[in-house]
Amino acid sequence: MSTAPPQVSSKLFGLFCLASYLLSLSYGSTFLLSLLIGSRGGNEHDAGSVISAAMLSTFAAVMVSGHLSDLLGAARSIALFGVLLVAASLGFALTPGFGHLLLFFGLLLGLGWGVFYTLGPIIVASLVTPAQRAKYFALLSGSMMTGIGSGPLLGRAASALGYPVTAAFYLAALASLIGVLLFWRLDSQLKNAHTNSAAVSRISWGAAKQVLASKALFPIIMVGLGGCVFGGLSSFQTSYATSRSVDYSLFFFGFMGAAISGRMLIARFVVKRDPLRASCLLSGLMMGSIVLFGFVVDSSFTYLLAAVTLGVGYGLTYTVINGLAANEAPTGTTAQALLLFSLSYFIGVFGFPLLAGKIIVEHGMSTLLLTVLLIAVLNWLITVGRLLWRRASPQTLQHV
């Protein structure tokens, strides 16, 4: 049995979270693509195509990220591929029109974000004990969510100050460059902070089959479905806000504020509770938020309320199932479970916008909201099914 890693220093983890926040701004700025492409004569389907181009490259990123981590170190790998996030943000701003070149920058975004998003939790898992993972995952994801939410708010601020929306992409590129430099400098300190230096991060068919045959399969499916909800709503929030005559920045203020405060303040209490009951309650809250978006929002207040509800439900559900994926994986496959967790998330968050954009163009926003609601219901039913199965098989309680 390996020695438990010591608790990581606050200063080191704080710098790690700061670097993660800065890199996350580049992904957050993609929620402005619908607005940017619309100003150039395109529509939601065009924006969805660019975002979904990232799904293809994230597959490659997730598959190679473990090998890169074993070869170069996780932080150094994030720094190298973070340069692609800088290039993608600049490319979105500088490319005229909405042609195929934007798809190329979408591919770059997927490579950079895929490596960062996958290796970040693996770094955390190597720094802390299993009992601490949910807490530290919450801190990391809170930092990332702050960056993701800040991206579109930069666009709103730019508009308020009379600058074009491309200003947000330039700022995101600059922030990501600083994040790249931080990760490069932190590499040696992060390596020295954990003791499990012999752990292997690379994925293999054998390890993947082990993980998918375990209970870790359920949180892996859930994060993909949650990614569909998050990607579908966030990527086209500018279009939704226009249809309801509200300011899209309210969504990102409300969602980001709730998700961050939830992960930073409430998560420490949530992770001490039964994870299956917590995920059932929180995924139900996420489902309720979509009902609000579809049938209740008719003012700035109700719009903000729906965003806050989604932020709490989605934000905390993600934290709980991230911990479940790591802790329910078979012994020795934690890193591989987190790789598959990230892959499932990317399928949802990058793949679904292509379908979502097509639905909006051909059938309208209300049909998209109904589709997203059905996905959220399926996500919630998985947690209900797990609870019912556990109640029917009380002898399995200790293994759940």
Domain boundaries, the chain: 10-194+204-399
Identity of residue 209: K
The pLDDT, as a whole number, for residue 229 is 95
d(CA 214, CA 400): 11
The pLDDT, as a whole number, for residue 1 is 40
The pLDDT, as a whole number, for residue 5 is 47
d(CA 385, CA 130): 25
The pLDDT, as a whole number, for residue 367 is 96
Q: Which residues of the chain have pLDDT under 50?
A: 1-5, 195, 197-198, 200, 396-400
Question: How far is the first Cα of the chain from the last one, in angstroms, to the nearest whole number?
Answer: 21
Q: What is the DSSP string of 257-296?
A: HHHHHIIIIIHHHHTTS-HHHHHHHHHHHHHHHHHHHHHT
172-186 pLDDT tens trace: 999 999 999 999 999
Out of 3.40.228.10, 3.30.830.10, 1.20.1250.20, 3.40.50.300, the CATH code matching 10-194+204-399 is 1.20.1250.20
Place of tokens 């960056």: 147
Q: Name, in order, each residue with C-beta under 8 angstroms of 335's C-beta and a sequence gap of 6 or more.
A: 66, 122, 125, 199, 200, 201
Tokens of 239: 């279009």
The pLDDT, as a whole number, for residue 3 is 46
